[in-house]
Structure 1
Amino acid sequence: MPFKHMSVATLQSLLNEKPVTLIDIRDPASFAAGHIEGAQHIGNHNLEQFLAEADRSLPLVVCCYHGNSSQGAADYFNQQGFEESYSLDGGFTAWPAS
């Protein structure tokens, strides 16, 4: 099954309901400047370790800047055996400032 899209509102609800693996694939400086609480920064430097340790049964939500790059990444993680992988529509720019 291919990756799916997830709205910001759906993610906000999901984070309150059950465990979710939330990853942010933006550059390290952008991640450091601000990210969704609980998100892990994933890049080439730690991708292999993440794949080795991740629970593939949990929903995986990929966040990028605007929701474009995350689609390819969600598809990639889907191919790596994640049961549910999602691209966050609108990316971090759509996440309400807290």
Structure 2
Amino acid sequence: MSKFKTITASELKPMLQTSTPILLDCRDAKDYRAGHIDDAMHLHEGLRDSLLMKGEKQKTMVIYCYHGHASEHVAEMFSDFGFTDVYSLKDGYAAWQ
């Protein structure tokens, strides 16, 4: 059983109205620049390493990619490092649009 959860785009929208999760876009930089969810940070290697070592492990984190596959691997990694409230966006940015 995975330690992270999945969330759909329709579930994420109300979450963003009531809380401020850490939003991480793990797509490549070009696609991030072309468009991303408001307030999302591009998850480049430096940010990933910094968050893994110094991030608030209880803070809600939502990770997304293109179609929801790569973000599951990233969410699993954060969970393995002790983050307790990690979500992968089901069907990724494609579902958000």
How does 1:44-63 map onto structure 2 within 5 Å?
44-63=45-64
The within-5 A match list for 1:1-98 is 2-96=3-97
TM-score, length-scaled by structure 2: 0.90
Structure (1/2) with the larger helix percentage: 2
Q: Which runs of 4+ in 1 moved over 4 A?
A: none
SS at match of 1:46: helix
Q: Could you say what secondary structure the match of 1:31 adopts? A: helix
Q: How many residues align?
A: 96
Q: Provide structure 1 residue ranges, at least 5 long, that are not aligned to the other structure.
A: none
Deviation at 1:35, TM superposition (A): 0.2
RMSD between aligned residues? 1.3
The SS at the match of 2:23 is: strand
Query: Mean Cα displacement is larger for which, 67-76 or 37-46?
Result: 37-46
- What is the identity percentage for the equivalent residue pairs of Structure 1 and Structure 2? 32
Question: Do 1:57 and 1:84's aligned partners in 2 also have CA atoms closer than 8 Å?
Answer: yes
Cα shift at 1:78:
0.6
Distance 2:67 2:38 in 1: 17
